[in-house]
A and B are shown apart, each in its own frame.
Chain A
Amino acid sequence: QKEVEQNSGPLSVPEGAIASLNCTYSDRGSQSFFWYRQYSGKSPELIMSIYSNGDKEDGRFTAQLNKASQYVSLLIRDSQPSDSATYLCAVLNSGNTPLVFGKGTRLSVIA
């Protein structure tokens, strides 16, 4: 069974610090990787996608992918209280397989 694992948290960081969120996946055939942010009671919002090994930066967000280790991470620099949310890691194989989500990591940024 294809699985995506995340620490549930909560992960607490002070305002201005770097938040590091981690995710591992079981399916070596996975090709596309996504990070979603979900505020309480709201739907997931796509914040980053990554498809090849290495780093991808977008503003304060950096996604890192290591396919050999089956590991993907999200770094949030200069964390703000508004970043407090649950972050969902999602993985996609090829073809018509569905997007598989982890349970999410709850991040709390303390002002």
Chain B
Amino acid sequence: ETGVTQSPTHLIKTRGQQVTLRCSSQSGHNTVSWYQQALGQGPQFIFQYYREEENGRGNFPPRFSGLQFPNYSSELNVNALELDDSALYLCASSLGQGGGYTFGSGTRLTVV
């Protein structure tokens, strides 16, 4: 059984650029959630996908968008990058919407 995998592990982008982060959920898990974790803070909820539909969103602007594919893998897209978008982006998968979350290793995004 494979765990949650994220790519890339590290990324450096320039302010104003766009970025796509990818996540493969754990085998059998149909729910994927994305979190942003700034240095010294707890993870902040961005959005959640359940069976390819977005079914929850945190306080993030529309330039944060996502997709979930039929195999339950997911993408997070961020447009018009800002310096404050620099953070660790975490993907978590779960079976259904009430179970424990398994996190991937994260993508460290640096915006310069």
Contacts and interface: CB of A to CB of B under 8 A. Distances in A.
A98 B103 contact: no
Interface residues of B, number: 26
Interface in B29-44: 33, 35, 40-44
A98 B100 contact: no
Interface residues of A, number: 27
A99 B42 contact: no
Contacts, number: 59
Contacts of B56: 96-98
B102 A92 contact: no
Contacts of B92: 99
Interface of A: prevailing SS: loop
Contact of B104 (A34, A43, A97): A43
A98 B45 contact: yes
Which 10 residue pairs of A and B lie closest in terms of their CB atoms, listed nearest first? A101-B42, A98-B45, A43-B103, A103-B42, A43-B106, A96-B97, A96-B55, A101-B43, A44-B103, A43-B105
17 contacts: A8-B40, A31-B98, A42-B105, A43-B88, A43-B103, A44-B43, A46-B101, A46-B102, A92-B98, A96-B50, A96-B97, A98-B33, A98-B45, A98-B48, A98-B58, A101-B35, A104-B41
Given A45-B103, A101-B35, A104-B41, 14 more contacts: A43-B88, A43-B90, A44-B90, A44-B103, A46-B101, A46-B102, A49-B100, A88-B43, A96-B56, A98-B56, A99-B101, A101-B42, A103-B40, A103-B41
